Amino acid sequence: MTEPDLPDRSDHIHPPESVEPVSAEPVDPDEPRRYPSTIGGAFYLMVLAVVGAALVLVFLHEWRTGIRVMGGALVFAALVRLLLRARDAGMLAVRHKVLDALVLVALGGALIFLAGSIPDQPGGF
């Protein structure tokens, strides 16, 4: 049994290069886009930089201090997420405001708690 011949529809398909890009954001030609475009994006980058600095501390054998700084950055991100509107939160907004804040506080608090509660190991750093 053979398959029926289908009509050639290649003339209806346009390559991506011929389609104009369309932005979901309203475009105002008088005001260029800022990067980051929200205050939350700026706070996100700041938290990311602090976490990066905390990782440097961890690699320099100051792991307790580094983990505490990292946890503090996450708690700070939770506070910022609670204070900013959803449209201004940028990449700090993932789900609902309260859920985002609870997850960030739980992770930050757990890091701070663990950094303080893990006993020193003999022969360790």
Q: What pLDDT sits at residue 60?
A: 94
- Which pLDDT band holds residue 35 (cuts at 50, 70, 90)? low
The helix (run of H) or strand (run of E) holding residue 113 is helix 97-117
Q: What pLDDT sits at residue 1?
A: 55
Which residues touch 54 (CB under 8 Å, ≥6 apart)?
A: 66, 67, 69, 70, 73
Q: What's the count of helices (H) and strands (E) in the chain, helices before strands? A: 3, 0
Mean pLDDT on 42-63: 94
Q: What pLDDT sits at residue 29?
A: 65
How many CA atoms does the CB half-sphere of 49 hold within 13 Å?
Answer: 6
Q: Quick one: which of 117, 119, 121, 124 has its CA closest to 61?
A: 124
Q: What pLDDT sits at residue 93?
A: 87
Rounded CA gap, 78 and 101, in Å?
4
Q: What share of the chain is helix, strand, coil (3-state, %, to 5)?
A: 60, 0, 40
Rounded CA gap, 22 and 2, in Å?
43
Q: What pLDDT sits at residue 52?
A: 97
| pLDDT(9) > 70 | no
- Which pLDDT band holds residue 69 (cuts at 50, 70, 90)? very high
| pLDDT(56) > 80 | yes
